Amino acid sequence: MSFDRFGRNINYLRISLTDKCNLRCVYCMPEDITFRPRAELLQDDEIDRLVQVFADLGFHKFRLTGGEPTVRANVVDIVGRIAQTPGVKTVAMTTNGLLLNELAQPLADAGLERVNISIDTLNPEKFKKVTRWGDVEDVWAGIDAATAAGLGIKLNAVVVRNYNDKEDVVDLARLTLHQPWQVRFIEMMPFGDVADFQQAGVVSQEELMATITAVLGPLSSVNGGELDGEAQLYRLADAPGTLGFISSVTQPFCASCTRARLTADGRLRLCLLREKEVDLLTPLRNGATNKQLKAIIEDGIWWKPWGHKLGEEVIPLNRVMSEIGG
Ligand code: SAM
Ligand code: SF4
């Protein structure tokens, strides 16, 4: 098992399979972004090797993300191999859903259990505006395919002031009255190039809950207020689904954090909102043994930071969100 110096047991790895994406969401990346050359990214066999090393260290929950993980070549085979790795208990994915229409069933067959699908608004024009390139109908086709494939489904919406912070969040919340999904509202976080825009657009959980209850009625706390991963859960009266609020900026959940992240270029990122990273790609390519890789990972985990410093205007500048994966 891997522990950090605060006694947190770190056992959940989020792997960014690629920095590339078929959308350009305004809060995530600039439209003219330049992606890394393929040779700088972890190759399939390097991912397999690192997953085995992390599993040997007690990591049992894995989530694939991006950029957009479904645009990675061989994504189905990668999922299959991770799911078969001894010690791995669950494999999930965070995706924009655009390619799930074709991929949901093969991914489920390969061992994927759950998908978190990003959908910031149900309104087609606004969806296009937030994602710059997207068609919300493609996401719905992806959600239908994921349902048919038996995948567990959560929906993710990043809330951006003046884009989707009013009737759009109410429409999304209303979905839980008819579907057993968890619809999660994510506070926008500032990163790199797009930090100014993000900071101007943060909508707090308190404000969101007020907007939703004003139209749909009161929300009751689920699980006695205990976090589900990073989300505080609530339910509308008689709803089969739940609402999750992920408030990393205004209500950080560092005490219960069990996560580490592997960037597409092979860096171990210890906290989403802090720049600290450990290079795993270079030792891997220089012939490090599994024992040596484990020692490097364990040392990095030990120094995992606690708390973001956004209140002191310390914004992570070394990467944009699409390179870390959320
Ligand atoms: N492309 C996939 C997707 O959109 O779901 C996976 C990668 S994306 C970076 C992972 C999650 O991060 C998505 O739910 C996305 O909405 C969220 N995200 C992106 N930029 C963000 C930001 N600045 N603040 C908060 N969440 C963000
Ligand atoms: Fe792509 Fe996901 Fe970033 Fe949107 S949030 S640009 S879908 S990586």
85 lines ligand 1 (CB under 6 A): no
Q: Is 169 among the domain residues? A: no
Model pLDDT, residue 247? 83
Q: Is 193 among the domain residues? A: no
Highest mean pLDDT among 32-46, 223-237, 270-284: 32-46
Q: Is 126 among the domain residues? A: yes
Closest CA to 182 of 222, 129, 135: 222
Model pLDDT, residue 200? 62
Q: What would the mean pLDDT of 81-95 be, rounded to a whole number? A: 98
Give 132's pLDDT tier (boundaries 50, 70, 90): very high
- pLDDT, one tens digit per residue, over 235-254 is 999 999 999 999 877 777 78
- pLDDT, one tens digit per residue, over 142-157 is 999 999 999 999 999 9
25 lines ligand 2 (CB under 6 A): yes
| b (16+ CB within 10 A) / e for 32-67 | ebebeeeeebbeeeebbbbbbbbbbbebebbbbbbb
Domain boundaries, position 135 = 12-159+255-324
Residue 321 pLDDT more than 60? yes
What is the residue whose two structure tokens read 């070549």?
73
Q: Is 34 among the domain residues? A: yes
Q: Cβ-count burial of 105 within 10 angstroms (0-12 exposed, 13-18 middle, 19+ buried)?
A: middle
Nearest CA owner, ligand 1 atom 25: 188
Q: Is 202 among the domain residues? A: no
The CA distance from 208 to 202, in Å, is 11
Mean pLDDT estimate for the chain: 91
Q: Which of 17, 18, 25 to mutate to test the pocket of ligand 1 (most atoms within 8 A of CB)?
A: 25
92 lines ligand 1 (CB under 6 A): no
Model pLDDT, residue 230? 84
CA of 5 to the centre of ligand 1 (A): 29
CA of 321 to the centre of ligand 2 (A): 8
**Residue 104 near residue 58, CB atoms below 8 Å:** no
CATH number at residue 16: 3.20.20.70
Q: Is 30 among the domain residues? A: yes
- For 314: left if phi > 0, alpha if psi spans -120 to 50, otherwise beta; the answer is beta
Q: From the centroid of its chain, how far is CA 10? A: 17
Q: What would the mean pLDDT of 144-173 be, rounded to a whole number? A: 95
Q: Is 185 among the domain residues? A: no
Highest mean pLDDT among 192-196, 237-241, 268-272, 301-305: 237-241
Q: What percent of the chain stands above pLDDT 90?
A: 73
Residue 194 pLDDT more than 60? no
Closest CA to 194 of 16, 15, 33, 17: 33
Model pLDDT, residue 199? 59
The DSSP output letter for 19 is S
- pLDDT, one tens digit per residue, over 282-318 is 999 999 999 999 999 999 999 988 877 666 666 666 6
Nearest CA owner, ligand 1 atom 19: 28
Ligand closest to 142 (CA) is: 1
CA of 37 to the centre of ligand 1 (A): 22
**More reliable by pLDDT, 191 or 166:** 166
- pLDDT, one tens digit per residue, over 42-65 is 999 999 999 999 999 999 999 999
Residue 195 pLDDT more than 60? no
Model pLDDT, residue 228? 84
Give 197's pLDDT tier (boundaries 50, 70, 90): low
Report the number of distinct structural domains present in the chain. 1
Q: What would the mean pLDDT of 97-122 be, rounded to a whole number? A: 98
Model pLDDT, residue 192? 62
Nearest CA owner, ligand 2 atom 8: 67
Model pLDDT, residue 252? 75
The CA distance from 277 to 289, in Å, is 20
| b (16+ CB within 10 A) / e for 144-159 | ebbeebebbbbbbbbb
CA of 318 to the centre of ligand 1 (A): 17
95 lines ligand 1 (CB under 6 A): yes
Model pLDDT, residue 313? 62
Model pLDDT, residue 187? 86
Q: Is 241 among the domain residues? A: no
